[in-house]
């Protein structure tokens, strides 16, 4: 499974930017086509923003957790979830404890694939 997060970076000062991502955590099956829709509007359009698509792995392995439900980590996560409704230990963690890769970047019409994704069939539209 894949987890994608969209990051936006504007290299020049902009008076305002409105970014809309309908589903910031998009999970798909490996090797299946996926569309990651996002739109943005800028009040100052002197420069195009840089749009960065990143792959982020899950924080924890659900399969490993299923085979060791009594582990100390699972007990701690259960306590955190009980005290924080909506807490999800599989997606809520620092990037330093998961795999993070740049899938692609786009500025204007120029699209660059990240090193790990060179040679893969990835299409950026819009």
Q: Check: CB of residue 1 under 8 Å from CB of residue 33.
A: no
Q: Check: CB of residue 87 under 8 Å from CB of residue 59.
A: no
For residue 24, what are the contacts with CB-CB under 8 A and spacing of at least 6?
A: 5, 6
Instruction: Round to whole Å and give the CA distance between 117 and 32.
Output: 15
Domain boundaries, the chain: 1-57+99-126, 59-96
Assigned token pair, 73: 């980590």
More reliable by pLDDT, 114 or 40: 114
Average pLDDT, the chain: 76
For residue 20, what are the contacts with CB-CB under 8 A and spacing of at least 6?
A: 38, 39, 40
81-103 residue pLDDT tens: 777 777 787 788 889 989 999 98
Across residues 7-14, what is the average pLDDT? 52
Tell me, what DSSP letter sits at residue 48? P
Across residues 46-69, what is the average pLDDT? 80
Whether 59 has a pLDDT exceeding 80, the answer reads yes
More reliable by pLDDT, 58 or 62: 58
pLDDT at 97 (0 to 100): 87
- Tell me what percent of the residues of the chain surpass a pLDDT of 90: 10
Whether 77 has a pLDDT exceeding 60, the answer reads yes
Instruction: Round to whole Å and give the CA distance between 122 and 20.
Output: 21
More reliable by pLDDT, 105 or 20: 105
Please report which confidence band the pLDDT of residue 42 belongs to, taking 50, 70 and 90 as the band edges: confident
Q: For the whole prediction, is pTM greater than 0.85?
A: no
């Amino acid at each position: 499974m894949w987890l994608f997060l969209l990051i936006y970076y504007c290299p020049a000062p902009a008076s305002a930017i409105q970014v809309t991502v309908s589903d910031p955590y998009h999970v798909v099956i490996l090797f299946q086509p996926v569309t990651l829709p996002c739109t943005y509007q800028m009040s100052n359009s002197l420069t195009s923003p840089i749009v960065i698509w990143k792959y982020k792995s899950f924080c924890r392995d659900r399969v490993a957790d299923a085979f060791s439900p009594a582990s100390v980590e699972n007990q701690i996560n259960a306590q955190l979830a009980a005290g924080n409704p909506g807490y999800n230990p599989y997606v809520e963690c620092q990037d330093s404890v998961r795999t993070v890769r740049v899938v692609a970047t786009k500025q204007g019409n120029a699209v660059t694939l990240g090193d790990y994704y060179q040679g893969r069939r990835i299409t950026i539209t819009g």
